[in-house]
Amino acid sequence: MSKTIVEKILSEHSGTDACAGDIVVAEIDAALVQDGTGPLAVQHLQKLGMEQAAKPERTVLFIDHAAPSPRKELSNAHKILRDFAKKTGAILSDVNEGVCHQRMVENYMNPGEVLIGADSHTCTAGALGAFATGMGSTDVALGIASGKTWLRVPETFKVYVTGEFKKGVYPKDLMLHFIGMIGADGATYKALEFCGPTIDAMEISGRFTLANMAVEAGAKAGLFNSDETTKKYLKERGRGEAWRPISADEGANYERVYEIDVSELEPTISAPHMVDNTKVIKDVEGIRVDQVYIGTCTNGRIEDLRIAARILEGKTRNPHTRLLVCPASRDVYLKAIEEGLIAKFIVAGATIVNPGCGACVGVHGGILGDGEVCLATQNRNFRGRMGNPDGFIYLSSPAVAAATAIEGVIADPRKYL
């Protein structure tokens, strides 16, 4: 029987002929928790007398959401993860190493593997042809201890993308457009399979952005073919031997098929307070912005920083608008220093935030004041996301963010390119 990518991967990992709708028990290749969800997972295992890791070399505990800790309660939560790592041999990704999703694709995940994570944006690794999904802390805890998890095999929506991006339009605009088209719950517990000539030609960083935001349409996972682009990335990261080709079978059964021509897209924004509240740039231009935030697991890669630096070079931020730049990992940070991007950001008036989640989750490093407006390259803009329910968050590409920082109002980046 012809299979989708997710059916292929879960068949392999469950030893069954898995089809959409089936319940399977699947072997896990890797698991992650972070400092917001990890302590609960560890405490659950302690309560069950199962404080162990079946695959410690692929179990990664991230201190990234509050890094470094802004208060003692969070420091104590970090201590729980540090102690678990020492006891079990699990890997600790400490302060300043970066956001869990970026580091998983940089260092741990490979095509055809299964990743579970106690964070909803675990689906980022689907860009490498893996099945990667977020779960609750207790489910991930048992997965860590046993090396297995149970799943309902999701139905798949095929997202077939054609055309060439126009100047100033990027994969982030495509994903915001798609979410606006189907709604924030339009793909609930489905797998999104991105394909088509535009996806085939897309660099890996763009694929990461699309996979990262699959959950913002309600999806269980977002997956891509493992192809030559995937192979190149894995070689660059020192694990080219882990590459294998993966794609859906011809004749695979899709619940729905969406076709999008990116040549028709314009810079796209999500307005408060839902990701699917999308607008084209002309409908929001001129809205006053107090803070611009460039980074996160969605758009904090070196390719994103290059786009923003290109626009900001030789210019300065609006004096009434704060500009925060947060590389997604230490590797990205070092690369940005090496290429001179960090210097360009600083000259433009930016504050550089150490790699981590920071302002995106509203714990520290850029919390909004009452009534303040932030335009960010992150993945969520619901009320209170950046630490204040009285703040307003718009989502955009790094290009829109850079143009907005210059003008102090939401601005079209195409005039700077």
Binding residues for [4Fe-4S] cluster, by number, are 297, 357, 360
Q: Using an 8 Å Cβ cutoff, are 77 and 100 in contact?
A: no
* Helical segments of 15-49, H only: 38-48
Q: Is 25 helix (H, G, I), strand (E, B) or coil?
A: strand
φ and ψ at 307, to 5 degrees? -60, -45
- Which residues carry a binding-site annotation? 297, 357, 360
Edge-first strand listing for the sheet containing 256-261: 221-224, 191-195, 156-162, 256-261
Helix axes 302-312, 330-338, angle to 10 degrees: 40
Q: Count of CB atoms within 10 A of residue 162's CB?
A: 13
φ and ψ at 387, to 5 degrees? 90, 0
Rg of the chain taking only CA atoms, in angstroms: 20
Edge-first strand listing for the sheet containing 30-34: 91-93, 59-62, 30-34, 114-117, 131-134
Q: Give the integer Cα–Cα distance in Å for 28 and 30.
A: 6
